[in-house]
Structure 1
Amino acid sequence: MTTVIKNSILTAEIKRFGAELISLKSNQHKEYIWEGNPEFWGKHSPILFPIVGTLKNNSFHYNGIEYHLSRHGFARDMEFELIEATESRAVFSIQSSAETLKVYPFEFELQLIYTLNENNLSIEYKVFNKGKSTMPFSIGAHPAFALPNQFENYALAFDKEESLEYYLLENDLISNKTKKLEVTDKQIPLTYELFKNDALIFKTLQSDSLTILENEKPILRVHFEDFPSLGIWTKMNAHFLCIEPWFGYSDTNESSGNLFEKEGIQILESDATFHSKFSLEIL
């Protein structure tokens, strides 16, 4: 089941399953979201919660009990409830349940709020701690943007001067190895060679936005000023690029297994609310 929101410029379609954005089209019928071809990657824009990336041994411990959480958490595989809808706005929600408490022993509500405003789609995250204890969590976006032409025709432009250093993954965990990425005029050309070792992971950036250029022409800008970290990823020969604003990232091999000590983790007090958003601007 899907929900459609629209205005005079854009139309967005969101699946209830995972509250996942599966289409963002202009009034000229140009599609900006990856088609989800399972030959390469069968998703479009999953939500990453209550972890981003992979835990060491896919597990953590809390109050003497070991819990197991799969990569990127469980929210992307849950059926959300549509709790509010207008022509240009939709709000989706999931809450903790007996099933989620088996793998993540914290009571929560997660809301995803999609709002169209002219040529922008904003995607808001609200996390409510409904339990009596503090709650550790990470949350992140994973939108895949359609790049239908030859991959090398595209480039990324940062909005600020960057000295880019990204962390390498080893067995899905963050290693202590880094690589420098050469930036010319705030831009990096896209090649599949960039992603031969999986995603590019930036723990911190100066920039608040990243623009996709097609043959030097800006086509889409991702604004992520609320988010401290970023992942960029594609698969070999696939016609998409993921630009992923994150609060948190994968464990390292040195991780203790205590979520409260996890690098990049967010800690939410009882009855408190976390609120963040990013947006997609069609150019």
Structure 2
Amino acid sequence: MTTSISNGATTATIHHKGAELISLESYGREYIWEGRPDFWGKHSPVLFPIVGTLKNNTYTFNGNEYCMSRHGFARDMVFSLEQKTETVAVFLLQHDENTLKIYPFEFAFRIIYTISENQLEIAYRVSNLGNGTQYFSLGAHPAFALPEAFGKYTLEINVVEPLLTNLLENDLLSDTTVSIGLTDGKLALDYTLFEKDALIFRDAAFHSVTILENQKPLLKVDFEDFPDLGLWTKINAPFLCIEPWFGYSDVVDTNQKFEEKHGIILLKPTENFNAKFKITLCNA
């Protein structure tokens, strides 16, 4: 089942499974990756309550061991549509007996989509419904369609160069960093950048990325609320993921204690956590 919101010129379509954005269309152009399974069968999954991979896909909390697969369970669960107007859609996921078996926290998780002019805002709200502190990570994973040759695209990043990215080691975050040079604040896209998987920027010194197509701005992602960022694609795939994150994969030397996980968020009982990012279509 899907739900669409629109301001007349721009339309966003969200699948209720994972509350996943599957289309962002404006003036006849589609900006979200179509999800072809021969490359990657998703469009824009949400990452909750973990981002990335746990060591051995397990963690411990209060002396108990739990198993959870990469990026968490929210992307595979059906959200309810809590509220809908022409330009706003609010999706809700709550804990149940199945989530409590792998994630022992009572929560309400909302994703709020709002369209205004040439912009889509995606907001997240996590509410702690339990009696103890809730621990979680949260991330977005939008894949943007790049229909022309990959080399015709450039990223504009306003940051003092160079960029330092942490390398993955068996899907876990290592201390090894690689410096990525920019030219006048721009990074030319090349598949060789992603030969060792995603580029991961912890505590990123920048909070916006603009995709240029043939040197002209195509879209901009603003993520001031998010401290971390991932950039990812598959080799030869016609898309790029720009992923604002709170947290990331376990570090190589993790003790696997969930409350001590790098980048973890702590939320006290009855409190709410809020964060949002924006996608602006530059040529819409």
Residues matched between the structures, number: 282
Tell me the distance in 1 between the aligned counterparts of 2:137 and 2:161. 25
Tell me the distance in 1 between the aligned counterparts of 2:121 and 2:265. 22
Deviations 1:1-50 (A, max 9, x none): 00010003210000000000000000x21000000000000000000000
1:208 shift after superposition = 1.7
Tell me the distance in 1 between the aligned counterparts of 2:204 and 2:36. 31
Alignment of 1:64-143 (within 5 A): 64-143=63-142
Tell me the distance in 1 between the aligned counterparts of 2:121 and 2:181. 30
In structure 1, list runs of 5 or more residues that go unmatched: none
Give, as a single letter, the amino acid of the residue that structure 1 aligns with 2:101. Answer: K
The aligned counterpart of 2:252 is 253
Give, as a single letter, the amino acid of the residue that structure 1 aligns with 2:263. Answer: G
Give, as a single letter, the amino acid of the residue that structure 2 aligns with 1:207. Answer: F
Alignment of 1:18-57 (within 5 A): 18-26=18-26, 28-57=27-56
Tell me the distance in 1 between the aligned counterparts of 2:108 and 2:132. 14
Tell me the distance in 2 between the aligned counterparts of 1:255 and 1:129. 25
Work out whether residues 162 and 206 of structure 1, in 8 Å CA contact, stay in contact via their aligned partners in 2: no
Alignment of 1:129-208 (within 5 A): 129-208=128-207
Partner SS for 1:45: coil
1:63 shift after superposition = 1.5
Tell me the distance in 2 between the aligned counterparts of 1:228 and 1:241. 20
Tell me the distance in 2 between the aligned counterparts of 1:29 and 1:266. 40
The aligned counterpart of 1:7 is 7
Alignment of 1:206-221 (within 5 A): 206-221=205-220
Partner SS for 1:206: coil
Q: TM-score, normalised by structure 2?
A: 0.98
Work out whether residues 162 and 205 of structure 1, in 8 Å CA contact, stay in contact via their aligned partners in 2: no
1:268 shift after superposition = 0.3
Work out whether residues 8 and 118 of structure 1, in 8 Å CA contact, stay in contact via their aligned partners in 2: no
1:115 shift after superposition = 0.1
1:176 shift after superposition = 1.3
Tell me the distance in 2 between the aligned counterparts of 1:228 and 1:162. 18
Tell me the distance in 1 between the aligned counterparts of 2:251 and 2:218. 35
| Aligned-residue identity in percent | 56
Partner SS for 2:30: coil
Tell me the distance in 2 between the aligned counterparts of 1:9 and 1:225. 26
In structure 2, list runs of 5 or more residues that go unmatched: none
Tell me the distance in 2 between the aligned counterparts of 1:78 and 1:8. 30
Which deviates further from its counterpart, 152-161 or 164-173?
152-161
